[in-house]
């Protein structure tokens, strides 16, 4: 309902086109020429009935061919000009559409790279994808073809009216009086068609969603024995789709009939009044023929103008959505002073980057998520000297990732400071910090491309020897050797040609290849089998030496040697200490550990 109300209110707003002018300005010259050539094209189209009129009046009525060569030459010249005009107009329309589309997509995608994690947690992938791909495409189409449609149809009607009044003012006035009624009725029908078509798109989206759920959730549907309910819901939606589509078809059929009716009424007026004038010798037969062509051809452009204006109004939703994305400010951003010294994400001044050693300190940090009300951390203090291995444990959803997100500056503290090497992280570039952090996620992600290309995201200039060394360090060299093309093997979209464990191993190798000063493992061994986990734990023990590391762990056996363990519950640090200290307290950590390893807990007791 809110979306429909927003759409209705667009009729009362100014067009959002001024917001995208910066992306259109480089092509204004082409657009101006495109409009000029569009006007010329409509002028030529409006001249053709006059040529037919000349044929009838001169060659048929007078039965003479004295000027035929000159007429043919003129006609060929007009055809040549029209063909060249159509080519240039189409070429420039295509250029403007593709150029504006490209610039908007680049701007949207680049801006997304500057936004913080909170934006992506608030907006799903489908929504963002639609902004970058669908909305930009429709705006590019609007700036080219929709504008050209409006220009051609409007100028054609003006030229036709001028031609008709020049030929016979009284007969032209009789036809022109019909236009207001035609416009009002067409607008009324078009308004209802827009509403119905919007409902159809909404219903179709629901049907698509239910269809996807019916396929992807087939196992759950069968195990819950809800096939009948799913089927009823789907049939109800398709029934609504059918009835709404039929109503839209009725309106569309009526609109088509209406356009035809007005064309025939205009033709009847011309035949009636024009016939009388022709019989009286006031109007020539050829001139009457030109009037008939103009009368029949006027209504379609009016319909096209109304359709185009409706489309332009509808596109305001796309413009608003895209500009809202482009105007979204990141929750985490560098100050102008920091950008001046260190550069930004796309123009870094790496020569000014200081070395990072790895001392981390939380100084009186309080934090709540941008869309949250309660503090996740409250006046939290913690010093992590360089080379310290910090483990963070807790039940699912306890907020274990919050501390790591603050260290990585994916979020800013609500109060207090996070310091790296004794300086507030906000005093240095995000890129400087992220260039020194290796992050291995619980759900590994690989980019489309080869194994070599994926690992070089960690270090673009890495040699094959360095890559193989990183693979050996995490026991992943066998994964690559089993592949047909070794390092040149394709991993597929998102790495879907590999198992989850294989993707995780390659993610480890990629992080280690970057030689980070701070290493973050976010339940990174959760997708690896027990045998592989044991191998990789040995590798991690060697890798984290000399580095500050934060390990979010689900399997508590993997962090018993951590320098400090932080226990998170309901978004708060409730215990901290070494494994032995926490076990001796017999508190929350003790209960977590004993639930996983009762036998070990008994031995230690």
Determine contact, residues 182/301, Cβ cutoff 8 Å. Answer: no
pLDDT tens-place string over residues 166-182 = 888 888 888 888 778 87
User: Is the per-residue pLDDT at 103 higher than 80?
Assistant: yes
pLDDT tens-place string over residues 122-164 = 777 777 887 888 889 889 988 899 889 989 999 999 999 898 8
Structure confidence at residue 526 (pLDDT): 64
HSE-up (13 A, CA, CB side) for residue 73: 4
Structure confidence at residue 555 (pLDDT): 77
User: Is the per-residue pLDDT at 217 higher than 80?
Assistant: no
Structure confidence at residue 542 (pLDDT): 67
The model carries a pTM of: 0.75
Nearest to 447 by CA among 503, 393, 409: 503
**What percentage of the chain carries pLDDT values higher than 90?**
25
Confidence of residue 8 (pLDDT cuts 50, 70, 90): very low
Confidence of residue 597 (pLDDT cuts 50, 70, 90): low
**What percentage of the chain carries pLDDT values higher than 70?**
92
Q: Give long-range contacts, CB 8 A cutoff, 24+ apart: 57-66.
A: 57/284, 57/285, 57/286, 57/287, 58/286, 60/285, 60/286, 61/284, 61/285, 61/286
Q: Give long-range contacts, CB 8 A cutoff, 24+ apart: 597-604.
A: 597/556, 597/557
Mean pLDDT of 313-329: 83
Mean pLDDT of 344-369: 90
Regarding predicted confidence, which is higher, 539 or 111?
A: 111
- d(CA 512, CA 314) in angstroms, rounded, equals 50
Regarding predicted confidence, which is higher, 90 or 259?
A: 90
Structure confidence at residue 527 (pLDDT): 60
User: Is the per-residue pLDDT at 423 higher than 90?
Assistant: yes
The most confident of the ranges 82-96, 209-223, 364-378 is 82-96
Mean pLDDT of 462-485: 87
Strand partners, 420: 360, 423
pLDDT tens-place string over residues 364-376 = 998 888 777 778 8
Structure confidence at residue 518 (pLDDT): 92
Structure confidence at residue 508 (pLDDT): 83
User: Is the per-residue pLDDT at 15 higher than 60?
Assistant: no
Determine contact, residues 259/304, Cβ cutoff 8 Å. Answer: no
């Amino acid at each position: 309902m809110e979306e429909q109300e927003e759409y209705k209110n667009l009729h009362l707003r100014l067009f959002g086109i001024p917001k995208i002018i910066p992306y259109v300005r480089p092509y204004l010259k082409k657009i101006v020429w495109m409009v000029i050539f569009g006007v010329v094209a409509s002028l030529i189209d409006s001249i053709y009935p006059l040529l037919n009129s000349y044929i009838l009046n001169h060659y048929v009525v007078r039965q003479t061919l004295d000027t035929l060569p000159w007429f043919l030459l003129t006609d060929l010249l007009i055809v040549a000009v029209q063909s060249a005009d159509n080519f240039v107009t189409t070429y420039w329309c295509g250029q403007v559409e593709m150029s504006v589309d490209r610039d908007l997509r680049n701007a949207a995608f680049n801006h997304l790279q500057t936004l913080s994690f909170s934006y992506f947690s608030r907006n799903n992938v489908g929504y963002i994808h639609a902004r970058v791909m669908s909305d930009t495409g429709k705006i590019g189409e609007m700036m080219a073809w929709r504008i050209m449609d409006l220009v051609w149809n409007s100028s054609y009607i003006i030229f036709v009216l001028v031609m008709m009044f020049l030929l016979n003012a009284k007969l032209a006035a009789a036809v022109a009086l019909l236009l207001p009624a035609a416009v009002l009725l067409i607008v009324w029908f078009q308004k209802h068609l827009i509403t119905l078509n919007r409902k159809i798109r909404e219903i179709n989206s629901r049907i698509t969603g239910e269809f996807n759920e019916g396929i992807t959730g087939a196992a759950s549907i069968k195990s819950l024995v809800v096939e009948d309910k799913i089927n009823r819901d789907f049939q109800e939606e398709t029934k609504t789709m059918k009835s709404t589509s039929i109503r839209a078809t009725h309106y569309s059929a009526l609109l088509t009939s209406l356009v035809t009716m007005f064309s025939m009424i205009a033709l009847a007026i011309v035949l009636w009044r024009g016939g009388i004038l022709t019989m009286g010798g006031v109007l020539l037969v050829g001139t009457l023929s030109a009037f008939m062509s103009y009368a029949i051809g006027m209504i379609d452009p009016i319909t096209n103008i109304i359709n185009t204006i409706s489309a332009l109004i509808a596109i305001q939703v796309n413009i608003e959505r895209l500009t809202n994305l482009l105007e979204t400010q990141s929750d985490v951003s560098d100050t102008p002073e920091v950008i001046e010294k260190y550069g930004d994400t796309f123009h870094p001044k790496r020569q000014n980057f200081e070395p990072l050693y790895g001392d981390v300190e939380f100084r009186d940090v309080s934090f709540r998520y941008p869309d949250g009300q309660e503090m996740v951390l409250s006046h939290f203090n913690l010093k992590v000297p360089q080379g310290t291995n910090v483990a963070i444990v807790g039940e699912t959803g306890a907020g274990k990732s919050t501390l790591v997100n603050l260290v990585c500056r994916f979020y800013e503290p609500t109060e207090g400071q996070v310091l790296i090497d004794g300086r507030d992280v906000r005093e240095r570039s995000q890129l400087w910090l992220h260039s020194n952090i290796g992050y291995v996620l619980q759900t590994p992600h690989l980019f489309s491309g080869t194994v070599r290309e994926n690992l070089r995201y960690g270090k673009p200039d890495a040699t094959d020897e360095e890559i193989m060394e990183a693979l050996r360090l995490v026991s992943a060299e066998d994964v690559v050797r089993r592949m047909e093309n070794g390092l040149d093997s394709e991993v597929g979209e998102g790495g879907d040609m590999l198992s989850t464990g294989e993707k995780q191993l390659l993610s480890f190798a990629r992080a280690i290849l970057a030689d980070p000063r701070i290493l973050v493992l976010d339940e990174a061994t959760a997708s690896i089998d027990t045998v592989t986990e044991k191998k990789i734990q040995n590798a991690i023990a060697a890798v984290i030496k000399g580095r500050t590391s934060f390990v979010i762990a689900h399997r508590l056996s993997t962090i018993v040697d951590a320098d400090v363990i932080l226990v998170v519950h309901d978004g708060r640090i409730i215990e901290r200490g070494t494994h032995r200290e926490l076990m001796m307290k017999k508190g929350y950590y003790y209960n977590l550990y004993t639930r996983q390893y009762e036998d070990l807990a008994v031995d230690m007791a």
